[in-house]
Structure 1
Amino acid sequence: MEHVNEMNWYHLPLTTGQVAAGEVQQRKEAFSEAFAAARAPRSMAFFQQGREDGGVDLFLTPECGEHAAELLAEWGCVPCERPSMIGLYLLVGHNEITYYMP
C-alpha cells in the first residue's frame, strides 16, 4: 500500500444527480458508522460544501485516512489541500473540530 501524506485532506465531488439521489445522506450514514467504530476521534470529520452547479464537494479530514481508509478507497476519494472554511458544513464529527483542523 502506498504511503499517503498525513496532512492530506480527502475530496469527493458529487454531481447534482448524485445529490438528488440521496448520496450525501447515504455517505453520511456510512461515515457515521466508521466514525463510531473508530471511537469518534477528535480530529476525524466529514464536511460538505455546496457548489454553484448544484453539486456538492465532500471533504474528509486527514485522520480519516487512518480510521476510514477502506471507505475512502471505496468512494474513490482523492487527496487534496485543506478546503476553505467558507460554506463548509460539518456532517459528522465534533463541533469543535475547527480548533483541531490541520
Structure 2
Amino acid sequence: MSRILPLTPRNLNAARHRAEHAPTPEVREAASRLLTEHELAVATGRPLHRARPRPAFRTSRPSPLGSRLTGFLVGALALLGFLFVATVLWAHATDVAETMRQQASAMRGM
C-alpha cells in the first residue's frame, strides 16, 4: 500500500469488532457499512491527529558497491570457485589414472 494507514490491520479489525458491539446505534450502523480506515477511526473516536505513521518495510538494503559491481564480484567469485573445483578434480583424475597405469604395468611384469 502506498499510503500510510492510521490503523494497522489488526487494530482495524479490533476497532470494527468494538464498533459492531458499541452501545450507541449510530456507531453500530457505521460499523455495518464498509468504511474506510479514516471513517472508522473517526467513528470509534481514535485521535487521528496523534496517529503515528507505521514504519515502511524494506526488504533489503541496497549494496554500497552498486548492483553492477556486486553482480560482477559475485560472478567472478563463482568462476574462481568453479575453476578451483575443476582443478582439484582434474588433479585427482590424473593421479588415479597414473596409479592405475603403474598397477597395470606391475601386473604385466608378474
Please state which band the TM-score falls in when normalised by the shorter chain: under 0.3
Given the two structures, how large is their TM-score scaled by the length of structure 1?
0.26
Instruction: Determine which structure has the larger helix proportion and give its number.
Output: 2
Q: Which has the higher contact order (CA 8 A, sep 6+)?
A: 1
Q: Which has the larger radius of gyration?
A: 2
Given the two structures, how large is their TM-score scaled by the length of structure 2?
0.25
